[in-house]
Structure 1
Amino acid sequence: MSPKHLDGDVVAVIPGQWITHFHTIAAYAAFVAAFLFGISLHYHKIVANQYFGYPVEWFPSVSATIGDRYPERSVFQLLIAICSGPRFLLVFLLYCLVNRKGESGAKWLAGVGIFRTLTCGGWTYVTSTDDHDWHDIFMISYLVATIPWTVGCLMLSPTNPTTSKCRRYLAGAFFGTLFPLVYFFIQHKVHRVPGAYTIYAFFEWSLVLSDVAFDAVTALDFSTFEITVRDVKGLSRGEKKRVQDVVLEEQKDKPIGQIFGAKFDWQELLDAVSDVYVGLTFWSVFTSLGPCVWYFPLWHMGISGYETALMTTISPMLLGIPPLRRLVTRYVSAVHFTSGAAGLLAYLVQSPRGRLGAVSIAVWQGCLAWTASWSGARGDPKKLEARISAFLLGLMASSIAKFACWTNNPTWPIMNAQNGGWNKTGIVCFMLAIGWAFYRQPQTTMSSVQQPTEDPKGSFAPAALGLGGLFFGLHAMLSDSSTMIAWVWEGYPVRGPLAVPHGSWTIFTMGAGLLLGLFYPNIARSWRAFGIASVGAAVVTTLHNWTGYYGALALTLYLCAMTPVLITNAVRFPPGRTFFLGFFAYNIVVLFNVWVVAYAFVPGGPLVREHTDWVMATTMIFLGCGVFSVLQNEGTPAEQKSFQPPPNPAARKQRAYYLYILLFLQLLSASIAYLRFPAYNYEPYHKDNKLITAGIWTIHFSIDNDMWSSERRMESLIRETELDLVGLLESDLQRIIMGNRDTTQYLAEQLGMWVDYGPGPDKHTWGCALLSKFPIINSTHHMLPSPVGELAPAIHATIEAYGELIDVYVFHSGQEEDPEDRRLQTEYLTTLMGQSNRPGILLSYLITRPHQGNYNTWVGEKSGMKDIDRTDWDRWCEYILYKGMRKIGYARLSRGTITDTELQVAKFIVGAPEGTGDFVPEERMPMALRFPALFRGQGVRGHRYHVFGEPRYFV
């Protein structure tokens, strides 16, 4: 007979909270011990960085403390190894805690916990000194896994006011610390601010402490557990008991209780993910229409007729026909499918006209589908909120995809496998998302048409105009995270935000705006909020640097907060006329936004010349109309003034799933900012020879002859020609019609160059930019006199090359049809160049014949500039001028299929006296000073030395 279970059968009993305590003590001990050893043995070494040492920097970072020196590195790794056992037990006990009957998230949370533990070991044992790339990969993976771990603990753990409160505060501290952490890292890395790295180190240590503290809270949950060790020969008796949840009555009516208190449902999470991905696909298709349309007027140099494709957004007018409205609403998933399929598969069409046609169909169907989705749910606040949240989160996801891919959406029809497209991946993900929507349609009653509970007040027109202003604001300002940063950029030294990493700040503000609109719509729709947003719009339009960007963030917050408010209000009215007028108003402002810069090529253009302020004012007036309509239809005046959120049946677990997606997107954005952050350790190609190779290229807005994005081929040519300086013209793409892109981001990061964007999108030019292997010490942007024709932009930059300061000028003059403009511009820039005694290089687009007209002003005593090759008679647009340096080479490379203009290249020696300028054969030039032989004969990819057939060299 087996022995009975007596007290003596129990070998040991370990209280569950002891596991947490041991984990917390071991983790903190590892960091504290490494810190104490580090400051005791290597204090001055671990506080020093590449710019400053003690006493400017006096507190070590976590990475320097735990990974750089012996013995602190070994002590840290030993204690972290000891910590790993309790860590895995902690994950196991948490699994036991949340593994309740009917709960499907326990295994998922355990898997996340194990993955997070393994990645922690990755960045712990592979330090940045060992392998910087893998250290970063493990660290980013750990941070990304922290989101589902945090959310899962909040969502699945038994409801307890103390643990819930502690977890929320610690999670907020952890994620909130990321933003000042990034800020001070930029102050150190970019601005080289003394002492900034010390402040950064404090936030880095705070991140570690709050992360460990978050897991320490499990001690409160595990107090109901005991780990019992019994004699293996004994028989267990009694049934397995599960931890009982303590549901507290006082939590049930609070927002956090409504959102996180319900049981987790995988199907509902997949519903949310599916909806958001359909939203992402819509915004990918919607934002691709502009670049596809732009291709045609670009080549026609004026109205082409294809601009009418912009009107495909007015398809919701079909919903004014009742039978058609019922049909579309019933089969809305099918309409979404036709939109996504046409838009994502358009890249397979080789003909630019055919591709534009496919995208136009996709946009037509997409606008129709989303309008039907919203209007069909107008009697169901829960479903309507879900559709609106998916729409805005889809925009955020699209913006993050562009953030990750250097401002190109990887599923656009101008992308393919050769230039960085993820078209096939996008198609597969979309098919999975829309397939899930079809599968879930009967259960989620997507086909039902709900009626509003009461008739709307007032006319539909103000509500529609509000939609027009909203759609334009979201598309023009927020479809790319760097657009408004380009608006406020003023050159070097850096005095404002950078596209990387501050694009993640814009995305974070978008998420905050969505939360404001969902939880506190009374605040968002108030006239006070509208006034603040109007001030923000005025600030970003008229001011620059950080001040201008703060205005941009205020506008961003408002636009996203008003998205659920304005759409919820608009669906009260007949959808056909309301959304037709809304999208029509959007189209008018889009054309207005093009006209202000393209005034020289469109009818009536001079009337709106250079009036981005009018565009912004129109947008805000339209939004104000929407606010007026909302306040007519939303509650009593007393309710509208309340700061408390109104009762909303959607404030349930459904909202939680969209918040989880939002948290994931925010951390993904921060991770991309971290991974893309530049190293700023750039070097010229031939520093031993004090050589500068400079080029000028008109890049035709990065759309090639066949309507493909051309950044990657541009990068290859610039790299192969070994350019240390390159001026780019026709480079401003930060408008709806051009896709809100920035080619210079990709080129600068891939080539390892500093970049100056030039006059921003609010300056109404076609743009110019400067890329430099040498640090840009100072730069100013100039708008040259242009009383009649298009504005002429210029950059005057001072670089430090081989210990000398050199002026570089990048310039695009006005059109051939405006001779007086070009004469005034010549006088302006010639005077500017003549005022400097430093060596200089002009990389320019002059529109003049050699030795004729304005050429004799550019080249002369007033400017001090000389022509790179006075014998080159076959020029009209591009010229390279110089002074104070020795020219040794000049070449012209054919354009291939990238653009409509060749690349001109010149070589200079810094610090050497100017030579005679006589031609010499290539054989007399050292190999390091020669142009690449790659482009001789037929060259590569259509690029070859032409006109002369070979480079020219001088002495």
Structure 2
Amino acid sequence: MASKYKDKDAGVVLSFNGKWVSWAHTIVAYAAFLSAFIIGVALHYHKIVQNEWFGYPDEWFPSVSATIGDRYPERSFFMLFIAITSGPRFALVGLWYLLTAKPGRTLPKAIAISGLVRTLTCGGWTYITSTDDHDWHDILMISYIVFTIPWTAGCVALSPPNPTAIKYRKYLAGAFFGTLVPLIYFFIQHKVHRVPGAYTTYAFFEWSLILFDVAFDAVTALDFDTFEVVVKDVKGTSKGTNKSSVPTAVLEKEKEKATAGVFSAGFNTGDALNIAADVYHGFVFWSVLTSLGVVVWYFPLWHMGISGYEAFVMSTISPVLLGIKPLRSLIVKNQRIVHLLSVAGLLAYLVKDPVYRLFTVGFGVSMGCLGWTASLYSDSAHPARLEARILAWTIGLLMSTIAKFAWYTNNPIWPIMHAENGGWNGTGLFLAVLAALRFTRRAPLQSGDASDKKGGSALLAACSIGGLFFGLHSLLSDTSTMILWAWDGYPIRGPVSNVHAYYTIAAMTGGLLIGTFKPAAVTSWTAYGVACLGAAVLTLYQQWFGYYGGLALAAYLMAISVPLIGNAAKKSPAVTFGLGFLIYNFLVLFHVWVVAYAFVPGGPLVREHTDWIMVTMMLLIGAGVFDLVSQNASAGRHKFDHRRRAAGNTGHRKYHLGALGLLNILFLCANFRRFPSNDYKPHHADDRLFTAGIWTIHFSLDNDMWSSEYRMRDLIKELEVDVIGLLESDLQRIIMGNRDTTQFLAEDLGMYVDYGPGPNKHTWGSALLSKFPIVNSTHHLLPSPVGELAPAIHATLDMYGTLVDVFVFHSGQEEDPEDRRLQSEYLSKLMGSSPRPSVLLSYLVTQPLEGNYNTYVSDVSGMHDVDPTDWDRWCEYILFKGLRRTGYARVSRSTITDTELQVAKFVVPKTEEESVFAWGVDQDLRNRRVDESEVPEGWRFPAMFRGDGVRGHRYHVFDEPRYYNF
């Protein structure tokens, strides 16, 4: 190409327009993928459509990975073209930086770095295919997608004032990220559910990602036409300058309109750190608040009734102190002290005595509620600062929820965590102090002696705060809560906690964005009606339909948070937040009483009425909506919209958007790490043996108020347990921390899990963990006319090709003998209805050989006691039929819980004849014990628990395991 500079400078040997860099990248990148596709389909069609489960004709379209990496010569064509692509790719990133770099701006450098890392990871997943190394291919692919997020957002933010380019970027970015949702869905359908044809549909979306991704970078051709790339033959080095023309005011306005004005102001590192500190301080508030219920719950749990320590639930009503004007003035002027005192809630992990640890957490919660209320009240005079506070508070909730997902539903800075069980308390505390100092960096905008705002109703605002905080806490403080509301067993027909949790995060993020940018859309009766419908669907239905209702409610709760909290901050803080948190506390207690009705006065009046809780919550939120609608109607919509625009005409939103984006990225990384492999193996497959256990885990709090998942994991692993029933395992309530122990145990031990009847079924919980695939499971609530509900799981497992039924059951309490009689009859008939080999892992509340025992062990059930001579039982029992029992042991609990772990070993019959023989063998012969030396080594219990055992765990009662005739 001739240079137009040739006459001016004989040293110029080549020049070309910058847009050709974009065109070269686009053409060669498409050539790499399309050439591999065409050659692969022509030469190896049936081989590249084959996957780990299915082939042609179930699967008929190849995935990107299979096309570019599995066969010669298509792999060679792809690698040749993709290598050529690398030059234009790096040049594209460099030109984009030169185009957008301006003095004092950090964002262009950050985007350039993300572009470089993105390019390198692209080379990683294209040259290391899934055939070469599946794990590294996936890691690099996920990393590429992760770095695509800041690259895409940064390109839109830094885009020159070219409305056409901005439009294309927004459309292509939306298409790219929108494609990720069905892509993940169909990958799960293939990988987890093994649906024929799902991988073909997944492949279409995977190819679409490639097309959209390359096309997004191709848009740079519209911007690079202002560049002329010149090659000179000169001696030495020179440094040019990047001079760009000043865009016209019209084009700047077009750009501002296209980007919603979020990126109008420049990037400032100090401002970004301020927002990061604010969000982290919000995270600390939610971490301390959500920990209060857990440390309170410890006391009635060990007292088996009301202990008196439940009064600490009222720690949240400290904002009532702001009703005293001199005290309010003192608190508002000294917010830094109050916020620093709230960090005491994180110091609690250093307090060993559970009572004093509760006192410390209660004090931290009290100071946190007081400090945040004072800050909101003080900043209510400035719309932008108030909105920034609210966003920090709500994004802090999102951060808390994401941290809990990453730590398997425990928060790493809770006072029940420490280094031994995965806690990051010291790090969290250090950052919390820094964040509190930075959060209180600015002086209050109004003193505490200012007159309270009179607009609207403070009482209605208080009602809305109570309902809103209860909804946020009870449903959104953990991603698995609503998923478990919708759970109904196997086969899987709804969302799964470690696969689909991001839907909850996405709904929360989307709702918060709507509440920030389109508040008028959520402060309407239409939106409120949709939310009420979502709440009803979540409460009344299961599987995907019920969860979809929960997602609608999640988005609404986050969206309505912004206007409701903003409205409450402008009124008397003692009423709106003091009374609001009092209402929230009553809902928290109501939330417990629906299941703990047997332990509280008047409890039977609200027995099993979660529906009443949901109605109350939505009515309270509706009171706040009514207040907002009334104020907007009286003030005029124009004035309201102007007020919202004034709040948005600041630079804080882009930093909050960045925080949201970063948190979503971190969640996706954790989600990738927790994605199930579903390739679990029993411990003694060669012997067709399985070890079954039953354990009442006391809500995963040990005797010293520490979370006990790690200690439980170690004992279950060392005992080589293949199937275990867990009782008192439903922790999905505010008072229990909205936790799920089964997620950590299942994923760490490599087991399938059935959570059992969900949180909305009002039981204390039963769960099943299994090394064997769960073919089918049904959940039962046994007759309980007087006492607490008795949950049961009836699951069918595929054990070495033989279907075996496992029952997990928790009987009613001792005080209700008629309940327990009815339950024994129900379960006996249920077990008797199964023609398959079966095991019962249970908590029966009966003496051996007496009373209801003879209903469970009877001709009706067909079940046999694992050891009828074991007289020292009252609660835990293992029963069986149609299996060859080989051993039985009782292992002491140490300080993990209040109940031992009972385990038994069984051999699964190879044939139906063997099963029938095991069923009908003489009882005396079946129960004849033998010496351990007569048992094959693979059938024996681990020797490490003999004598004094390890960590307080040993064989006890018999002081050794028992082995049986066959």
Match of 1:326 among 320, 326, 329: 329
Q: More deviation in 314-323 or 872-881?
A: 314-323
1:667-706 aligned at under 5 Å gives the runs 667-706=665-704
Q: More deviation in 673-682 or 922-931?
A: 673-682
1:278 alignment counterpart:
281
Mapped to 2, the partners of 1:106 and 1:493 lie a distance apart of 49
2:663 alignment counterpart:
665
1:846-861 aligned at under 5 Å gives the runs 846-861=844-859
1:49 alignment counterpart:
51
1:141 alignment counterpart:
143
SS at match of 1:21: helix
Determine if contact 1:697/1:901 at 8 Å carries over to the other structure: yes
1:267-666 aligned at under 5 Å gives the runs 267-340=270-343, 342-437=344-439, 441-442=441-442, 445-446=443-444, 448-449=446-447, 455-636=453-634, 639=637, 647-666=645-664
Determine if contact 1:100/1:242 at 8 Å carries over to the other structure: no
1:880 alignment counterpart:
878
Aligned letter for 2:929? F
1:224 alignment counterpart:
226
1:184 alignment counterpart:
186
Deviation at 1:595, TM superposition (A): 0.8
Do residues 158 (structure 1) and 156 (structure 2) align? no
Mapped to 1, the partners of 2:10 and 2:257 lie a distance apart of 48
1:191-206 aligned at under 5 Å gives the runs 191-206=193-208
Mapped to 1, the partners of 2:292 and 2:239 lie a distance apart of 69
SS at match of 2:139: helix
Deviation at 1:875, TM superposition (A): 0.5
CA deviations on 1:828-848 (whole Å, 9 max, x unpaired) are: 010111112111110000000
Flag the 1:568–1:437 CA change in 2: closer, same or farther, 3 A. Answer: closer
Aligned letter for 1:696? I
2:952 alignment counterpart:
942
Mapped to 1, the partners of 2:515 and 2:314 lie a distance apart of 29
CA deviations on 1:333-367 (whole Å, 9 max, x unpaired) are: 44222212x12222122111122122111111111
Mapped to 2, the partners of 1:412 and 1:134 lie a distance apart of 34
Determine if contact 1:457/1:632 at 8 Å carries over to the other structure: no
CA deviations on 1:762-800 (whole Å, 9 max, x unpaired) are: 111100001111111111110001111111000011111
Determine if contact 1:463/1:570 at 8 Å carries over to the other structure: yes
Determine if contact 1:520/1:645 at 8 Å carries over to the other structure: no
Aligned letter for 2:539? T
Flag the 1:746–1:33 CA change in 2: closer, same or farther, 3 A. Answer: same
**Residue ranges of structure 1 left out of the alignment (5+ in a row):** none
1:818 alignment counterpart:
816
Match of 2:266 among 263, 266, 275: 263
1:952 alignment counterpart:
962
TM-score normalised over the length of structure 2:
0.95
Aligned letter for 1:348? L
Aligned letter for 1:843? L
Flag the 1:239–1:550 CA change in 2: closer, same or farther, 3 A. Answer: closer
Mapped to 2, the partners of 1:684 and 1:629 lie a distance apart of 59
Q: More deviation in 73-82 or 13-22?
A: 73-82
Mapped to 2, the partners of 1:919 and 1:518 lie a distance apart of 71
CA deviations on 1:629-683 (whole Å, 9 max, x unpaired) are: 1112224597399999953332443212211221222233233223211011112
Q: More deviation in 753-762 or 151-160?
A: 151-160
Mapped to 2, the partners of 1:25 and 1:52 lie a distance apart of 34
Aligned letter for 1:482? S
CA deviations on 1:55-85 (whole Å, 9 max, x unpaired) are: 1011111222223333333332332222222
Flag the 1:471–1:431 CA change in 2: closer, same or farther, 3 A. Answer: same
Do residues 100 (structure 1) and 80 (structure 2) align? no
Deviation at 1:453, TM superposition (A): 12
CA deviations on 1:469-505 (whole Å, 9 max, x unpaired) are: 0000000000001101111111111111111221110
Deviation at 1:863, TM superposition (A): 0.5
Determine if contact 1:380/1:450 at 8 Å carries over to the other structure: no
Determine if contact 1:151/1:660 at 8 Å carries over to the other structure: no
RMSD, aligned CA = 2.3
Count the aligned residue pairs.
948
Flag the 1:228–1:244 CA change in 2: closer, same or farther, 3 A. Answer: farther
Flag the 1:836–1:382 CA change in 2: closer, same or farther, 3 A. Answer: same
Mapped to 2, the partners of 1:418 and 1:461 lie a distance apart of 46
SS at match of 1:697: strand
1:725 alignment counterpart:
723
Match of 2:774 among 776, 786, 810: 776
Mapped to 1, the partners of 2:248 and 2:887 lie a distance apart of 81
Mapped to 1, the partners of 2:482 and 2:821 lie a distance apart of 33
**Residue ranges of structure 2 left out of the alignment (5+ in a row):** none
2:826 alignment counterpart:
828
Flag the 1:195–1:887 CA change in 2: closer, same or farther, 3 A. Answer: same
Deviation at 1:204, TM superposition (A): 1.3
Deviation at 1:237, TM superposition (A): 11
Flag the 1:369–1:637 CA change in 2: closer, same or farther, 3 A. Answer: closer
Flag the 1:121–1:328 CA change in 2: closer, same or farther, 3 A. Answer: farther
Determine if contact 1:347/1:412 at 8 Å carries over to the other structure: yes
SS at match of 1:810: strand
1:31-42 aligned at under 5 Å gives the runs 31-42=33-44
Mapped to 2, the partners of 1:337 and 1:147 lie a distance apart of 35
Deviation at 1:28, TM superposition (A): 1.8
Mapped to 2, the partners of 1:151 and 1:739 lie a distance apart of 35
Mapped to 2, the partners of 1:257 and 1:774 lie a distance apart of 53
Mapped to 1, the partners of 2:73 and 2:240 lie a distance apart of 51
Mapped to 2, the partners of 1:839 and 1:404 lie a distance apart of 38
Flag the 1:855–1:124 CA change in 2: closer, same or farther, 3 A. Answer: same
Aligned letter for 2:835? N
Mapped to 1, the partners of 2:579 and 2:236 lie a distance apart of 79
Q: More deviation in 823-832 or 656-665?
A: 656-665
Mapped to 1, the partners of 2:31 and 2:959 lie a distance apart of 70
TM-score normalised over the length of structure 1:
0.96
Flag the 1:345–1:130 CA change in 2: closer, same or farther, 3 A. Answer: farther
Determine if contact 2:731/2:739 at 8 Å carries over to the other structure: yes
Determine if contact 2:328/2:449 at 8 Å carries over to the other structure: no
Q: More deviation in 531-540 or 324-333?
A: 324-333
Aligned letter for 1:279? G
Do residues 902 (structure 1) and 912 (structure 2) align? no
Determine if contact 2:161/2:252 at 8 Å carries over to the other structure: no
SS at match of 1:811: strand
Mapped to 1, the partners of 2:214 and 2:948 lie a distance apart of 62
Aligned letter for 1:261? S
Deviation at 1:395, TM superposition (A): 0.6
Match of 2:129 among 127, 130, 144: 127
Flag the 1:50–1:595 CA change in 2: closer, same or farther, 3 A. Answer: same
Deviation at 1:454, TM superposition (A): 10
Match of 1:758 among 756, 759, 783: 756
Q: More deviation in 143-152 or 645-654?
A: 645-654
Flag the 1:72–1:327 CA change in 2: closer, same or farther, 3 A. Answer: farther
Determine if contact 1:522/1:645 at 8 Å carries over to the other structure: no
